[in-house]
Amino acid sequence: MSVGKNVHDVLLRKFQETYGREPQVVAYAPGRVEILGNHTDYNEGYVLSAAINLGTYFAIAPREDGKARLIAGDVMEEVSFDTFDPVPTKDHMWSNYVKGVLHGISAKRKPSHGFEAMFLGNIPLGSGLSSSAALEISAGLAFARLYGVTVSPLELARIGQRAEHDFAGAKTGLLDQFSSLHGKKDCLVWSDFRSYEVKPVPLGDDVCFLMCNTHTKHALVDGAYNERRQRCEQAAAFFAAALDHPVSALRDVSWEEWKTHREDMEVIVARRSAHPIGENERVLAGIEMLRNGDLAGFGRLMFESHESSRHYFENSCPELDTLVDGAQAVPGVLGARLSGGGFGGSVVVMVARSNVDDAASSLRNVYANKYGVRCDTRVITCSDGARVVKG
């Protein structure tokens, strides 16, 4: 979905033209980018992410009956359903994210009436910036305000996650929803996926991020995800028996403990577990570097994170490696790594704001020299989180 900078105004105009009135509630939620902490959330670990300057607006007005009308504002496709009984559909799959959120809000308080709604955003689909979570959170905030439901950020994040699981069929963690809800301008979001504690970590305005989208997706990704999660669980069980302190997840294992015991583990289990264990330590080290203003050191951790993905977790691919390797020689670039699950998709690059245009051009050329086509680049800045903007 891409409609330029005036997404909010375009949505209001389309809503008025379609429904003949203004919305009662408008909510906004940003997408997110993962900066450090790859595959750590399901290991009860730490992640540094950011809400970004791209997102989704969700506008809604009440109806007197129980009918729900929902329109995707970019393609102007409409889905109608029973407000009191939202069920997943195989047609218009985008509607399942909204239906799932409505189902979660309804579990707290049953709606008393139907609605007319429309959403519109400027997050490129399939770019690894979590357009789905932005839709879920903006819809959740709008439904909660329309129906007078009080919902905490953690509850809303879990409602979005259940919408992904039960309605959209994607077994995701809470990272995307957390980042969208807790974003703060010029800050990263530090999330602890054991305690669910969230804190802003100031980044400053001297750097920003480039997303370099390869549009590559390699086969067997679902099986690869499952294999890696299984190996992490096997490693946690090994360390629970081998160490003299409690271990319920790889978050409880230090890098020194991994080095001490790696020869006693099955080779593939040792290799896979090294990545989230190292990532947790990189996140904690990265927070201290940012507090001390060491942006160069933080960038090195991003490069180390990608090397860990490439060597231990093997969730990179040649296209992503080309960009990360090339980024190390680009003036102004401080760090780079794959973003999200891996196996394709995008690279996130931390770059000095004064060098961002030249860096983007250089990285597009790096990719074109290898693959004959340029990757897409987009400037990303750390932004405030989700909120109700009207109503």
* CA 55 – CA 81 distance, rounded (Å): 25
pLDDT at residue 129, as a whole number: 82
Q: Which two tokens stand for residue 299?
A: 């960038």
Contact (CB, 8 A) for 107 and 156 = no
pLDDT at 391 over 50: yes
Q: How confident is the model at residue 221 (pLDDT cuts 50, 70, 90)?
A: low
pLDDT of amino acid 73: 96
User: What is the model's pLDDT at position 94?
Assistant: 95
The predicted pLDDT at position 344 comes to 84
- Tell which residue, 119, 90, 135, has the closest CA to residue 11: 119
Examine the pLDDT at 171 and tell me if it is beyond 80: no
Task: Please write the tens of the pLDDT for every residue from 133-155.
Answer: 999 999 999 999 999 999 999 99
Place of tokens 């963690």: 173
- Name the catalytic one among 41, 74, 176, 252: 176
Enumerate the domain spans of the chain.
7-202+384-390
Identify the pLDDT of residue 172. Answer: 75
What is the distance between the alpha carbons of residues 238 and 270, in angstroms, rounded to a whole number? 10
Split at pLDDT 50, 70, 90, the class of 225 is confident
pLDDT in tens, 34-70: 999 999 988 999 999 999 999 999 999 999 999 999 9
The tokens for 147 are 């129906």
Positive or negative: CA dihedral 177, 39, 235, 240: negative
The model's confidence at residue 169, banded by pLDDT at 50, 70 and 90, is confident
Q: Which of 362, 332, 331, 363 is nearest to 347 (CA)?
A: 363
Q: Which of 4-8, 9-13, 26-30, 253-257 has the weakest average pLDDT?
A: 4-8
Q: Work out the mean pLDDT of the chain and round it to a whole number.
A: 94
Closest CA to 56 of 158, 146, 138, 168: 138
Q: Is the pLDDT of residue 222 over 70?
A: no
Task: Kindly tell me if the per-residue pLDDT of 2 is higher than 60.
Answer: no
Q: Please state the rounded mean pLDDT for residues 8-28.
A: 97
Beta-carbon count within 10 A of 333 CB: 24
Q: Which CATH class is domain 7-202+384-390?
A: alpha beta
Residue 126 has pLDDT above 90, yes or no: no
pTM for the complete prediction? Answer: 0.90
Q: What percent of the chain has pLDDT over 90?
A: 86
Residue 205 falls in the annotated catalytic set: no
Instruction: Calculate the alpha carbon distances from 72 to 53, 163, 257, 320 in Å.
Output: 20, 17, 50, 32
Residues 347-372: b if buried by 16+ CB within 10 A, e if exposed: bbbbbbeebbeebbebbbebbeeeee
Average pLDDT over residues 199-211: 92
